[in-house]
Each structure stands twice: as structure tokens, then as C-alpha cells.
């Protein structure tokens, strides 16, 4: 019998970036890179584990913006062109590196990886990555949970209608894609605002996560610390992040990804190779960018990087997986000795860390899951939902306002660089509620305009924009997206209230900001609040 549980949670998210109005758009590459380097490698590992009969339970949050991009034909087709271009580059690299054996082997590794990605994406799953995730869910390996519809940061929303709409559209879209309602939610940026659990409960969600101090500072004092969930007064369970296991993977100094044998992220042939040669594979305006082909290992704190040796890196991934498991076993043995129940250690990570930044991350996960299954009996992988089945009785306590951002509260999203957005975000959310109440049953063009207005509010709310403004790279893009969506909303608002909807403008927005095609603007009405809960009650 196991002594405790490990709940691995991967949070997969990208903001909705899709620009049909441009042939090539730099920021769209984030999606293509993540597909090649993170989502497909992770799916490959997870499918292989399932195929090999390894039983595992993993929680993964797929945000509605990411799911929308997975499902979008324009981005699907653009990804195919993107990966084919990469295959072409890798082919050239095979020739170019003919007299450099170490690099030649690496060129082949990338050639194989890209060809696999193309096969997986086009031939195996017909361009839609929702399918393999859903399959792993239906087969009982994954618990796929939801997030805010556009990853809006809840603690800085003024109107609860805004939070409700984020959760409403998220659960609705999720249910449509996965054939069942989500059991839990990953709050965007782990941002918990006391009382939001009431809204969460209204949508039948049973659990969410907070950072460690969200639980540790809960009141009354939580008996098990972060090693068991607490029930909010609303009855929704809150699980706290374990910082020790987070640090082992995340930390720049002590974390695994900085190992000298692992692949160096910052040496990309997009920057290293002769300009005319690489020109067709970088930005059309001539700007050097990452291609994804990287030949060096971290090596050490030096500029003289050594070539990457995959066999050594794989060995390290295995060692690190063993180390992680050993530490969790010790942690859980100790906890079990002082607690009167089997503890759960919750380890959430950004999915994009795996494969994209930490190239060996998917292999590490593969080894970890195998080792846990075959090599020991102390810990068992679990999902929060399963833990609540084993321990349905939990302490009632209200978590504290918290996030997993720098310093643990709201500062990342509320500081000098980005605080100007909130007066506008609050204004448009309030106006959206006004509109929804004023037009309880619109139809035709008016209905379309109202639905589009709601989409603009949602897209403006993505926490990514404020985050990018703070971190200082690609700021212009984040500012433009914020202003565009707010501006589009304000214009729609004027047109709707002035009874002069410009259909051409509306058509244009419907093409560009096409997220959640089946959304119903009426969700924003205040009097809808009780309704959703009633519907859930009836459904149960």
C-alpha cells in the first residue's frame, strides 16, 4: 500500500495569437514552436507509456485559448508549412554538416524530430491535437482540466460578472471539445481571490490550485499544510503547490534544466549561421530569430559551448528522474509519519517548460512515470479528483489571496508598466454587462455585434499582455493587443448603443477575433448569476 501521492499538474497555455491579415506573423511562431517542441513530444511520451501498459494519472490544464488554436484551420495549415520549412532546413543541415560528425548526428536528430512532428500532426491526427489529448483522457490516463477562457487574471477583475464569464465560456468550450465537463480548474497564474470559489462551484468544478501560501495562510489554520486539500466554505477543494518539488525543476541555480549536459537554449543556428544561408528560415524582414535547431550543450558558465551529446543528456534525464522520485519518496515517508492520513504532494509546472526550454523535459517525465510505476511502492501518481474520492472529508478553511507570480500576489500584473490597463478593462466589462442586460434577446446583426463585443472583452483580459509589458520583451505587441481589443469593444459599444452597426467592420472583427464561435453574450448579464448554478443543480 502506498504511503502518499504525487499529483503532477502540467499547465499548457498560450495566448490567442492568430493574424490572418498577415502572411507571416512573428508571434504566431510561439504556437508553432510549442507544437513541435512541447506538445508533440509530450504526447509522444504519454502515448508510449500508455502503449507499454504503464498505468499513470496526470492532470493537465489546456486553456481554452490554446484549444482554440489547436482547432483553428488557419493555424493548423500554417503549422504544416512551418514544419515543412523546418524539415527543408534540417535537410540542408545534413549536407552542410557532412564533415562535422558531431553536428551531423545532431542534424539527423532534428531531421527525425521534425519529420515525426509532421507525421504526428498531419497523418496521425489530421492536424488537430485536441484528438490525442481527448483519447488519453478517455483511456483514463489524463484528467484534463480547464482554465479562464482567455487566461484573464481573476484577482484584478473588478466585476464578478467578468470572472463568471471567463469560467462560463471556458467550461462550455471544454465540454464541447472533450465530451465531458471539466472536474477542476487551473486559475490563471494560480491567481485566487477569496470568494471566486463561489463562482467556480456554480459551474460544477470540484477543485482548483493555489500557490503554497494561499493554503498556508488560509483561515482557520490548515492542519495538513499544503499536503492535503482544504474545502472553501463554498465546498470547492483547494490544493496547494509544493515548493520543494517546484524548485527542483524550476530553479535556475538548483534545478535540473541547468545541468551542463543538457541542451543550451540560447545557441540557435538562426543566430549562428551565415546570413544568406539562414535567411529563408528567419523572419521575412531579415531579423534573426530562433529556428529550433540548437547544437550545443549548456557546458558551464562559459561562452565556449561544447556540442550536445544526446546520449549523455538522456542519461542525465534518467538520473534526475531518479533523484526526483527519491526526494518525493523521502518527503512522503516523512509526512506520512507525522500526519494521520496519506499526504498528497502537488507539483504543477508550465507545460511549455518541457521540451521548449528544457529540451530533455519530456524524457525526464517519461523516466519519472516509469520509475514510479515499476521501481517503488511508497508513492503513487494521483489526480486531485481521485484524492477527493479517497478523502472526501477535509477541513473547511478559506484560502488567502495569492498567485504564483513573483512575490506571490498581484504585483506582476499590477505595476508601473501595466497598471494603466485596468481602468479600461473594468470599463469595458461593466459596459458589456450593461449591454447584456439591455438586450436580453437580440437577434441578427445586433446579436452578432453583442457576441463580438464579448469576444473583445475576453481577448483584452488575457493576463499575458500585462505579463509581457512587465517582463519587457515584445512589449509593443502586448500594448497593441490590449489597445486593439479595448478599442474594438468601445467602437462596437458606440455602434450598438447608437443603433448604427457597421456590418463591414463587424465582419472584419469576426474574421480576426474569431475565438469561441458559439459564445452567447448574455452570460454577462448580472441576473444570469443564479441561473448557471440552477442549471448545474438540475444537471446533477
Partner 1 sequence: MNPDELEKMSKKELLSLAQEKKVKTQPTMTREELVEKLRTVILQTETSRFVQEKTAGSPDQFAPFPAIVDKQAVVKEKRLEQGEFELPLSYNETAVVLLVRDPYWIYAYWDFHPKLQEELAQVFHGWEKVPLALRVYNLSRSKSGAGGPEHFDLSVNHVTNNWYINVEEPGREYQVELGYYALDGNFRALASSNRVATPQDRISDVIDEQWMIIEEDFRRLYRLAGGAGWGDSSVELVESLLKRLEREAGSGAISSISSPAGAPPRERRFWLVLDTELIVYGATEPDAALTVQGRPVKLRPDGTFTLRMALPDGTQTIPVSAQSGDGKDSITITTNVSRNTHKGEEV
DSSP-assigned letters across all residues of 53-69: T----EEEEE-HHHHHH
Burial class (CB in 10 A: 0-12, 13-18, 19+), 214: buried
Does position 244 bind partner 1 by CB under 8 A?
yes
* Residues forming a β-bridge with 239: 209
Among 143, 198, 242, 366, binds partner 1 (CB under 8 A): 242
Among 25, 250, 373, 391, binds partner 1 (CB under 8 A): 250
Tell me how many helices (H) and strands (E) the chain has: 21, 9
How far apart CA 61 and CA 144 sit, in angstroms, is 6
Give the x-and-dash track for 15-44 against partner 1 (CB under 8 A). Answer: x-----x-----x--x--xx----------
Among 36, 210, 397, 433, binds partner 1 (CB under 8 A): 397
How far apart CA 521 and CA 457 sit, in angstroms, is 11
Give the x-and-dash track for 183-212 against partner 1 (CB under 8 A). Answer: ------xx---x-----------------x
Binding span for partner 1 by CB under 8 A among 67-75, 134-142, 380-388, 481-489:
481-489
Nearer to partner 1, 54 or 289 (CB): 289
Nearer to partner 1, 178 or 404 (CB): 404
Among 8, 9, 11, 329, binds partner 1 (CB under 8 A): 11
| Per-residue b or e along 22-61, where b marks 16 or more CB atoms closer than 10 Å to that residue's CB | eeebbbbbbbbbbbbbbbbbbbbbbbebbeeebebbbbbb
Does position 414 bind partner 1 by CB under 8 A?
yes
Give the x-and-dash track for 255-274 against partner 1 (CB under 8 A). Answer: xxxx---x-xxx-------x
Binding span for partner 1 by CB under 8 A among 109-117, 405-413, 442-450, 530-538:
405-413
Among 85, 96, 160, 283, binds partner 1 (CB under 8 A): 96
**Interacting residues with partner 1 between 133 and 172 (CB under 8 A):** 155-156, 158
Count, residues near partner 1 per rule CB under 8 A: 117
Binding span for partner 1 by CB under 8 A among 136-144, 508-516, 517-525, 530-538:
508-516
How far apart CA 180 and CA 182 sit, in angstroms, is 6
CA neighbor of 193 nearest in space, from 243, 228, 152 = 152
**Interacting residues with partner 1 between 332 and 351 (CB under 8 A):** 334-335, 338-339, 350
The count of other CB atoms within 10 Å of the CB of residue 302 is: 9
My answer on whether omega of the bond before 68 falls inside 30° of 0, hence cis, is no
Nearer to partner 1, 243 or 536 (CB): 243
- Are 449 and 501 in contact, with CB atoms under 8 Å apart? yes
Does position 402 bind partner 1 by CB under 8 A?
yes
Note the maximum CA span of the chain: 72
Return all residues near 455 (Cβ < 8 A) that are at least 6 apart: 509, 513, 514, 515, 516, 519
Does position 433 bind partner 1 by CB under 8 A?
no
How far apart CA 35 and CA 41 sit, in angstroms, is 8
- Are 346 and 404 in contact, with CB atoms under 8 Å apart? no
Binding span for partner 1 by CB under 8 A among 45-53, 196-204, 447-455, 507-515:
507-515
Nearer to partner 1, 134 or 342 (CB): 342
Give the x-and-dash track for 305-334 against partner 1 (CB under 8 A). Answer: --------------------------x--x
How far apart CA 423 and CA 224 sit, in angstroms, is 40
**Interacting residues with partner 1 between 354 and 383 (CB under 8 A):** 356-358
- The distance of closest approach from Cβ of residue 284 to partner 1 in the complex, given in angstroms and rounded to an integer, is 18
Binding span for partner 1 by CB under 8 A among 171-179, 366-374, 433-441, 464-472:
464-472
Does position 64 bind partner 1 by CB under 8 A?
no
Amino acid at each position: 500500500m502506498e504511503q502518499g501521492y504525487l499529483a503532477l499538474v502540467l499547465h499548457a497555455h498560450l495566448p490567442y495569437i492568430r493574424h490572418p491579415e498577415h502572411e507571416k506573423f512573428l508571434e504566431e511562431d510561439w504556437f508553432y514552436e510549442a507544437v513541435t517542441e512541447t506538445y508533440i513530444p509530450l504526447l509522444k511520451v504519454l502515448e508510449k507509456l500508455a502503449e507499454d501498459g504503464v498505468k499513470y494519472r496526470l492532470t493537465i490544464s489546456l486553456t481554452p485559448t490554446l484549444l482554440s488554436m489547436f482547432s483553428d484551420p488557419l493555424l493548423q495549415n500554417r503549422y504544416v508549412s512551418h514544419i515543412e520549412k523546418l524539415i527543408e532546413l534540417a535537410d540542408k543541415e545534413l549536407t552542410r554538416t557532412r564533415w562535422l560528425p558531431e553536428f551531423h548526428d545532431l542534424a539527423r536528430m532534428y531531421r527525425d524530430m521534425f519529420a515525426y512532428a509532421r507525421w504526428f500532426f498531419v497523418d496521425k491526427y489530421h492536424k488537430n491535437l485536441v484528438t490525442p489529448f481527448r483519447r488519453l483522457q478517455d483511456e483514463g490516463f489524463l484528467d484534463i482540466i480547464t482554465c479562464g477562457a482567455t487566461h484573464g487574471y481573476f484577482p484584478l477583475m473588478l466585476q464578478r460578472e467578468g470572472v463568471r464569464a471567463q469560467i462560463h465560456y471556458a467550461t462550455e468550450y471544454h465540454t464541447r471539445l472533450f465530451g465531458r465537463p471539466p472536474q477542476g480548474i487551473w486559475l490563471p497564474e494560480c491567481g485566487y481571490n477569496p470568494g471566486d470559489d463561489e463562482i467556480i462551484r456554480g459551474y460544477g468544478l470540484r477543485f482548483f490550485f493555489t500557490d503554497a501560501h494561499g493554503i498556508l495562510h488560509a483561515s482557520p489554520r490548515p492542519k495538513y499544510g499544503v499536503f492535503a486539500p482544504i474545502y472553501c466554505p463554498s465546498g470547492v477543494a483547494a490544493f496547494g503547490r509544493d515548493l520543494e518539488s517546484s524548485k527542483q525543476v524550476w530553479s535556475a541555480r538548483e534545478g535540473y534544466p541547468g545541468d551542463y549536459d543538457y541542451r543550451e537554449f540560447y545557441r540557435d543556428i538562426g543566430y549562428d549561421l551565415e546570413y544568406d544561408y539562414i535567411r529563408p528560415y528567419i523572419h521575412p524582414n531579415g531579423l534573426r530569430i530562433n529556428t529550433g535547431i540548437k547544437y550545443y550543450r549548456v557546458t558551464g558558465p562559459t561562452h565556449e559551448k561544447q556540442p550536445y551529446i544526446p546520449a549523455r543528456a538522456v542519461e542525465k534525464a534518467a538520473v534526475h528522474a531518479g533523484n526526483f522520485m527519491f526526494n518525493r519518496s523521502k518527503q512522503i515517508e516523512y509526512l506520512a509519519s507525522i500526519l494521520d492520513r496519506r499526504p498528497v504532494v502537488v507539483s504543477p509546472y508550465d507545460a511549455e517548460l518541457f521540451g521548449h526550454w528544457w529540451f530533455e523535459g519530456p524524457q525526464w517525465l517519461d523516466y519519472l512515470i516509469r520509475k514510479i510505476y515499476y521501481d517503488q511502492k511508497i508513492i503513487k501518481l494521483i489526480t486531485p479528483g481521485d484524492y477527493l474520492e479517497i478523502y472526501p472529508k477535509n477541513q473547511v478553511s478559506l484560502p488567502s489571496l495569492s498567485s504564483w507570480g513573483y512575490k506571490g500576489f498581484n504585483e506582476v500584473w499590477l505595476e508601473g508598466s501595466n497598471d494603466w490597463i485596468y481602468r479600461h478593462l473594468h470599463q469595458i466589462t461593466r459596459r458589456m454587462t450593461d449591454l447584456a442586460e439591455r438586450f436580453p434577446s437580440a437577434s441578427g446583426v445586433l446579436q452578432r455585434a453583442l457576441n463580438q463585443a464579448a469576444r473583445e472583452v475576453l481577448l483584452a483580459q488575457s493576463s499575458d499582455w500585462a505579463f509581457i509589458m512587465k517582463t519587457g520583451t515584445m512589449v509593443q505587441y502586448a500594448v497593441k493587443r490590449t489597445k486593439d481589443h479595448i478599442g474594438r469593444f468601445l467602437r462596437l459599444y458606440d455602434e450598438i448603443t447608437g443603433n448604427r452597426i457597421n456590418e463591414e467592420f463587424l465582419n472584419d472583427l469576426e474574421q480576426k477575433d474569431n475565438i469561441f464561435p458559439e459564445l452567447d453574450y448574455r452570460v454577462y448579464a448580472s441576473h444570469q448569476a443564479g441561473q448557471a448554478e440552477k442549471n448545474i443543480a438540475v444537471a446533477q
